[in-house]
Structure 1
Amino acid sequence: MNRSPLAAGLALAIAAPIVVSAPTLSADASGGAETLDTIVVTATRSPTPIARGLAATTVLDRSAIEQAQAPDLIDLLARQAGIDVSRTGGPGSLSTLFLRGGNSNHTLVLIDGVRVNSVQQGQYDLANLPLDRIERIEIVRGPRAALWGSDAIGGVIQIFTRDPGQRGAQVRLGSFERREGAAQWGVSGERGSFGIGGGVQDAEGYNVSTPTSFGFDPDRDGFRNRHLSLGGRTTLGTQAVGVNLLSTVADVEFDRGLTESHSVSGGATLGGPLAKRWTHSLALGEAREDLKTLSSFGSRFESRRRSADWLHDLVLTDGQTLLFGVNRVSEDALSRNAANAVVYDRNRHNTGVFGAWRGAIGAQQWDLAARSDDSSQFGRTTTAQAAWGLAFGDGWRLRASWGQGFRAPNTNELYSPGFGGFFAGNPNLDPERSRSAELGLGWQGTAGGIDLSAYRSRVTDLIAFAGPTFGATNINQARLDGVELDGRWTLGSLGIRGNVGWQRAENAVTGAPLLRRAPRKAALSLDLPANDWLRFGLDATAASRRQDFDGPLGGYTRFDLRAEADLGPDWALRARLENLLDRRYTLASGFAPPERSLLVELAWRPGR
């Protein structure tokens, strides 16, 4: 596969309208809860106040990320409503995310609007993206295929990189010989802003595997990461121009082997008004992944995805809006074995055309969207979604929605030769398809808010490895039902944020539970300032018993303690004691999460 440095440097695009026009989000005292003036863009692909949104959405801005003091991104996401995670160790270890009970490749992940799900494996490894590079996260639960296309069956997670005009730096030291440093430098003025940021992460780690793990080796499994980001914004007449680039290089040790991962994503956008009520955004994006495993079963996967989006937003009369656009994606995938011989070298492309009509009459709102995708490999797929909302009382809102989703098989599922004739791909696979319905009730006030969601999803043509040789085939059906309650409240100086979820994620044919998804899960955060310069926080996470490959994983409860002290106007000292009670628990069979550990951070944050 050819590598184009110029193309990699042009890559933020798909999110151009989002990144250029969306205002900075705010967090309340409870640490990251959305406020009434928060603007979200992922659910509708256009800036929308969260108070008027018709999808279950969680927003985490930069202040919420810093206040949470999570050791990494996957740990931060694990505490959000509707999300289960599985990981094979500590920082940097292979991690998977399940949104609303769906498979790990049923969640679309975007970085600055650029699709980063792996062309080869179908999911994005969130463990390699440092929190230092993230400005904001938007989590939309429920299908979004009518706007975003493939993979958005369970929902969409969009990550926005740091504001280019910001400055700051931080140094961290922690257990398992963890050492980290990162810095962000930027300038801003009337003509725009530009920034560059980067950092390093190193940890000697601990023995993440248990004696039951395949190839067990009682050594320490370390992690190293290098990351760099560039960003800039300016104007050309009435048009806003933005460019972003994010690169991460990670080395992750595992028993008897090493994985080297290099990811690059970014793009360029041009957006602004074309007429009095007509705005547009043109976005060019690119994402690359080079994944090399060094072991006796070594392999190398190289993938490249280029995309172009042209989005139009037309304001009609009576508060109605019309959104329409076209999307073009081209994907290349190359796989090599341990001897560096080519296993497969494939490419495909997809063109999507979509539109949405939104409006309100009195206290009622509606949102209708449809999309048609034409794939060079799978032909045409049409998806639709509809949502309705009703505001009543003092801050109450009722919403109902229905939506379709689909996922195109990844190249490993299609073309992998397997191992000795087992677990081979199947080029005749069909895309997975889903239908979902949701009913929600929410309340927003000045002191807090709550949101209750009940959903029902059915996934058909689910891809499984079955039969005498465990080959890939479309045979499974999944039944995903659940209820989520997400809330926040400010009680005096005490900030409270929590969520609880009940779900049934199972094979619709056999009734067997889907692996590593907890039927019950809860998270609670308490934030209490001691005075003007010292704050404390306590996080609690609980998950019920759930099934894994070789049997059930026990339920667990974990507590984490946080503290933050202001050292003058521009400096802060933070400390986090994770797994306070040193509980033993398991997120994936054969692997052990960290024992009680400490992480201390010194941060420079000018202008805060």
Structure 2
Amino acid sequence: MSQVFLAARRPLLALSVLALAASAHAQNKLDTVVTTATRSPQKLSEVLADLTVITRADIERQAAASVADLLRNNGCAEMVRNGGAASTTSIYLRGAETRHTLVLVDGVRMDSQASGGASWQGIPISQVERVEVLKGPASAIYGSDAVGGVVQIFTRKGGGKVSADLGVAYGNLGTYKADGGLFGSAGIVDFAFTLAGEESDGFNATTPDSAFSYVPDRDGWRKYQATARVGAQLAQGHRAEVLFVKNYANGQYDASRSRPLVDDHTLQDANATRLAWTAQWAPALQTQLSYGESRDRYQTTPSVYLTDTKIRTLALTGSYLLAKGQQINFQGERIEDRLENSGLVTSGVGKRSRNAVGAGYLLNAGAFSLQAHARHDDDSQFGSVDTGTLLAGYEVATGLRIVGSVGTAFRAPTLYQQGTVYGPDLAKPGVEALDAERGRNFEFGLKYGAGDSEFTATAYRNRIRDLIIFGAAGSCQSSFGCYENVSQARLQGLSLAGSTKLANVTLRATLDLQKPTDASTGLLLARRAKRLATLGADTQLGDWLLGASVQASGHRFDNAANTRRLGGYGLVNVNAQYKLGRDLRLQLNLDNAFDRAHTTAYGYASAPRTALVSLRWSPQL
């Protein structure tokens, strides 16, 4: 594994030097307008936080199996998966728990009030236009969940002339994919409609290490996805939009080796709806009123388990330009959580609400930039939480800035943690309700951007207290164990990322040196590595677009005691795209090209070598 990382570090150092030495000579994605960092539009070059943008071109070129794979491929996060593409998937952003990453689909919260955190396996990828990954706490802007960061997924949007986008693909493991989209506008209305389907025979999801559930068979999956996004320019500066996203996944898994002939399945529905009205009342004043609703429904069959989360959000956000370079952001929000789960003692249904107000100040005074955000959340179950973030940056040379920030964040206990027999029994003397998990983060970094070159270096330290764990019995009704606020985590590390263009070759690399530990024991948090790296290159040769990438991870431990070791791994992916005609492309993707056996969770297998041949037609109609 040390050889893998030596191979990754040397190109990264060379790339960093090249990025810092490059000169500004062209407009690039630094001019891209993003919204996740401040909840208001700003150029990527003006963002002070650690933000990564993954574009539609990146998504098509990599042909990742899921959004979680896409994040891992681009060095944004660690991924852990219990088998195939429809299996339970976790994402660790800067080493934080998967429930500590807020996930938004076009501004709609995606969360499970049972397990905590988004169900990554149910989030679509074929309809995604771009992904913005914000690293670091953002509760002062978004409220609960954003302890480790925010991942916002933007679906494809219509506009301009009517066009279509059709794709079919075939791969090994008996994999078939098809997707189609219609995009365009008519008068004041623009539209985007997409459909996608995927089926695979899969691979064996478990390994012989799994003493309980190993069954030597293939565990396949099916996924179906649809989106509809329609907008209308009602008047000058006034736009209304409606969005529907529906996703269904059916994945096979091995529940028990004692029942090898039973076909066990997980069924996942992850849907989102949003209504929004954006208004430009004056050159200095903009508002957006939105209503969002998401549903995360997960069940297993024939083993009976069902959990159904619904989240409703009503929000008013906006910005006011005080003067050139000075802006105030404001927000008011109501969030309602609802959980149906047979484990809840309140007739299988749990509910709560949260009201919030927040404000931000953005200053851009030449070489100096400052941002301050504050928010107050009042939860109907555990009370109120105040959070804040302060960021500053100074341009020491053209394109080179020093940045730093301090911020607080929180994650509300889930309805399942609060409301089952494993939650606190408030009738017992001295027992209190679960409190929110709270984080405090400090970071310092360098940002460079000019022309085709970018480089960032960020050192951070995030301390999270009152972590909720499943501990010893005594404070709840169960004799098996209870949820309690007892643990603390210390997340610290250095993140490096860079990209540049040499002649006709685009190079990109990331390196994360991190130490996510239990603050009380000093042991590594489960399933998180100390070292992670990616390295990629793409080039255009005539009608060919060729690319290759490497993903490397150091060893991890599957348990909190650090006694069950998971080996490190390095994966090589290659892709090739050929332009058959003006609107027709042929593509080949080969992932895990050397068929490296590896596992991210003890007893569960990861995908072997996978090959996918795709044909895509994108005509103007």
Query: What TM-score, normalized to structure 1?
Result: 0.90
**Structure 2 CA distance, aligned partners of 1:87 and 1:244?**
29
Q: Which of 404, 407, 411 in structure 2 is aligned with 1:407?
A: 411
Cα deviation digits, residues 299-346 of structure 1 (max 9, x gap): 111121111110121000242001111001111111137xx9986211
* Counterpart amino acid of residue 567 in structure 1: L
2:492 matched residue in structure 1:
481
* 2:594 equivalent to 1:595: no
Cα deviation digits, residues 207-241 of structure 1 (max 9, x gap): 11012222221121110111111011111123111
Q: Is the deviation greater in 490-499 or in 70-79?
A: 70-79
**Structure 2 CA distance, aligned partners of 1:414 and 1:88?**
26
2:323 matched residue in structure 1:
317
Contact 2:62 2:589 (8 Å CA) reproduced: no
* Counterpart amino acid of residue 600 in structure 2: L
Alpha-carbon shift at residue 275 of structure 1 (Å) = 2.5
Contact 2:313 2:336 (8 Å CA) reproduced: yes
The structure-2 alpha-carbon separation of the partners of 1:497 and 1:343, relative to structure 1 and needing over 3 Å to count, comes to farther
**Structure 2 CA distance, aligned partners of 1:272 and 1:150?**
27
- Which structure 2 residues correspond to residues 14-93 of structure 1 after superposition, within 5 A? 35-93=29-87
2:31 alignment partner, SS class: coil
1:94 matched residue in structure 2:
88
* 2:285 equivalent to 1:278: yes
2:348 alignment partner, SS class: strand
1:137 alignment partner, SS class: strand
2:571 matched residue in structure 1:
558
Contact 2:346 2:419 (8 Å CA) reproduced: no
1:27 matched residue in structure 2:
none
* 2:197 equivalent to 1:200: yes
Alpha-carbon shift at residue 512 of structure 1 (Å) = 1.4
**Structure 2 CA distance, aligned partners of 1:132 and 1:308?**
27
Which runs of 5 or more residues in structure 1 are unaligned? 1-32
1:236 matched residue in structure 2:
234
* 2:122 equivalent to 1:118: no
- For these two proteins, the number of residue pairs brought into alignment is 567
Q: Which of 448, 470, 489 in structure 2 is aligned with 1:443?
A: 448
Contact 1:151 1:408 (8 Å CA) reproduced: yes
1:167 alignment partner, SS class: strand
**Structure 1 CA distance, aligned partners of 2:352 and 2:452?**
50
User: Over aligned residues, Cα RMSD in angstroms?
Assistant: 2.0
2:494 alignment partner, SS class: strand
Contact 2:111 2:296 (8 Å CA) reproduced: no
**Structure 1 CA distance, aligned partners of 2:550 and 2:75?**
14
Q: Is the deviation greater in 501-510 or in 166-175?
A: 166-175
Alpha-carbon shift at residue 607 of structure 1 (Å) = 4.9
1:259 matched residue in structure 2:
266
**Structure 1 CA distance, aligned partners of 2:195 and 2:340?**
29
Q: Is the deviation greater in 134-143 or in 581-590?
A: 581-590
**Structure 1 CA distance, aligned partners of 2:374 and 2:422?**
37
Contact 1:293 1:299 (8 Å CA) reproduced: yes
* Counterpart amino acid of residue 290 in structure 2: A
**Structure 2 CA distance, aligned partners of 1:579 and 1:362?**
47
Query: What TM-score, normalized to structure 2?
Result: 0.88
**Structure 2 CA distance, aligned partners of 1:91 and 1:369?**
38
- Identity between Structure 1 and Structure 2 (%): 32
Contact 2:230 2:243 (8 Å CA) reproduced: yes
Contact 1:112 1:266 (8 Å CA) reproduced: no
* Counterpart amino acid of residue 391 in structure 2: A
Contact 1:121 1:411 (8 Å CA) reproduced: no
Q: Is the deviation greater in 45-54 or in 248-257?
A: 248-257
- Which structure 2 residues correspond to residues 289-308 of structure 1 after superposition, within 5 A? 289-296=296-303, 298-308=304-314
Q: Which of 346, 355, 358 in structure 1 is aligned with 2:350?
A: 346
Q: Is the deviation greater in 459-468 or in 348-357?
A: 459-468
Cα deviation digits, residues 146-180 of structure 1 (max 9, x gap): 01000000000000111134520111111110111
**Structure 2 CA distance, aligned partners of 1:580 and 1:318?**
52
1:334 matched residue in structure 2:
340
Contact 2:471 2:483 (8 Å CA) reproduced: yes
Cα deviation digits, residues 466-492 of structure 1 (max 9, x gap): 225432110000000010000001000
Alpha-carbon shift at residue 272 of structure 1 (Å) = 1.6
* Counterpart amino acid of residue 473 in structure 1: E
* Counterpart amino acid of residue 112 in structure 1: D
The structure-2 alpha-carbon separation of the partners of 1:124 and 1:427, relative to structure 1 and needing over 3 Å to count, comes to farther
The structure-2 alpha-carbon separation of the partners of 1:254 and 1:156, relative to structure 1 and needing over 3 Å to count, comes to same
**Structure 1 CA distance, aligned partners of 2:517 and 2:355?**
33
1:172 matched residue in structure 2:
169
Contact 1:138 1:159 (8 Å CA) reproduced: yes
**Structure 2 CA distance, aligned partners of 1:520 and 1:470?**
34
Alpha-carbon shift at residue 427 of structure 1 (Å) = 7.8
* Counterpart amino acid of residue 392 in structure 2: W
* 2:617 equivalent to 1:604: yes
1:249 matched residue in structure 2:
248
Q: Is the deviation greater in 158-167 or in 261-270?
A: 158-167
1:191 matched residue in structure 2:
188
**Structure 1 CA distance, aligned partners of 2:68 and 2:81?**
9
Q: Is the deviation greater in 76-85 or in 89-98?
A: 76-85
* Counterpart amino acid of residue 458 in structure 1: R
Q: Which of 350, 355, 362 in structure 2 is aligned with 1:358?
A: 362
Q: Which of 594, 599, 604 in structure 2 is aligned with 1:581?
A: 594
Contact 2:215 2:254 (8 Å CA) reproduced: yes
Contact 1:322 1:357 (8 Å CA) reproduced: yes
Alpha-carbon shift at residue 143 of structure 1 (Å) = 0.5
**Structure 2 CA distance, aligned partners of 1:222 and 1:200?**
14
Contact 2:28 2:451 (8 Å CA) reproduced: no
The structure-2 alpha-carbon separation of the partners of 1:236 and 1:447, relative to structure 1 and needing over 3 Å to count, comes to closer
* Counterpart amino acid of residue 409 in structure 1: P
Contact 1:284 1:309 (8 Å CA) reproduced: yes
* Counterpart amino acid of residue 579 in structure 1: N
1:23 matched residue in structure 2:
none
**Structure 1 CA distance, aligned partners of 2:223 and 2:499?**
34
1:456 matched residue in structure 2:
461
* Counterpart amino acid of residue 264 in structure 1: N
Which runs of 5 or more residues in structure 2 are unaligned? 1-26, 256-263, 426-430, 474-479
Contact 1:415 1:427 (8 Å CA) reproduced: no
* 2:583 equivalent to 1:570: yes
* Counterpart amino acid of residue 160 in structure 1: F
Alpha-carbon shift at residue 192 of structure 1 (Å) = 2.6
Q: Which of 535, 540, 546 in structure 1 is aligned with 2:556?
A: 546
Alpha-carbon shift at residue 288 of structure 1 (Å) = 1.2
**Structure 2 CA distance, aligned partners of 1:400 and 1:429?**
32
Alpha-carbon shift at residue 525 of structure 1 (Å) = 0.8
* Counterpart amino acid of residue 268 in structure 1: L
Contact 1:336 1:342 (8 Å CA) reproduced: no
Contact 2:219 2:253 (8 Å CA) reproduced: yes
* 2:535 equivalent to 1:529: no
The structure-2 alpha-carbon separation of the partners of 1:371 and 1:156, relative to structure 1 and needing over 3 Å to count, comes to same
Alpha-carbon shift at residue 80 of structure 1 (Å) = 3.0
- Which structure 2 residues correspond to residues 505-520 of structure 1 after superposition, within 5 A? 505-520=516-531
Alpha-carbon shift at residue 350 of structure 1 (Å) = 0.4
Cα deviation digits, residues 255-280 of structure 1 (max 9, x gap): 14211111210211101212331111
